[in-house]
A = this chain, B = another copy of it.
Amino acid sequence: MEELSAFTGRAQDPSSLRSSGFKKTSFFVETIFAAKMAQTNPQPAQPGSWKVTVYDQENFQGKRMEFTTSCPSVTEFKFDNVLSLKVESGAWLGYEHTGYCGQQYILERGEYPRWEAWSGSNAYHVDRLMSFRPINSANHKESKITVFEKENFMGHQWEVQDDYPSLQAMGWGNSEVGAMKVSSGAWVCYQYPGYRGYQYILEADHHGGDYKHWREWGSHAQTPQVQSIRRIQQ
Q: Which residues from chain A sit less than 8 Å from chain B, CB to CB?
A: 19-22, 25, 28-29, 31-36, 39, 87, 106-112, 114, 116-123, 149, 155-156, 158, 163-175, 188, 191-197, 227-228, 230, 232-234
Contact = CB atoms under 8 A, between A and B. Distances in A.
Given A116-B196, A233-B166, A171 B34 contact: yes
Nearest to A150: B22
A171 to B, nearest CB: 3
A171 B108 contact: no
Contact of A174 (B20, B34, B118, B230): B20
A101 B232 CA distance: 33
Contacts of A170: 32, 35-36, 39, 233
Contacts of A34: 171
A148 to B, nearest CB: 11
Given A35-B171, A110-B227, 4 more contacts: A108-B193, A108-B194, A117-B193, A188-B194
- The count of identical subunits is 2
Contact of A25 (B108, B123, B163, B173): B173
Contact of A192 (B117, B123, B174, B197): B117
B32 A168 contact: no
A230 B21 CA distance: 22
B122 A116 contact: yes
A164 B233 contact: yes
B196 A117 contact: yes
A165 B22 contact: no
Contact of A230 (B117, B163, B173): B163
A106 B169 CA distance: 14
16 contacts: A22-B174, A28-B173, A32-B170, A34-B171, A35-B171, A36-B170, A39-B170, A87-B193, A109-B169, A110-B192, A116-B122, A117-B196, A117-B197, A118-B196, A165-B232, A194-B195
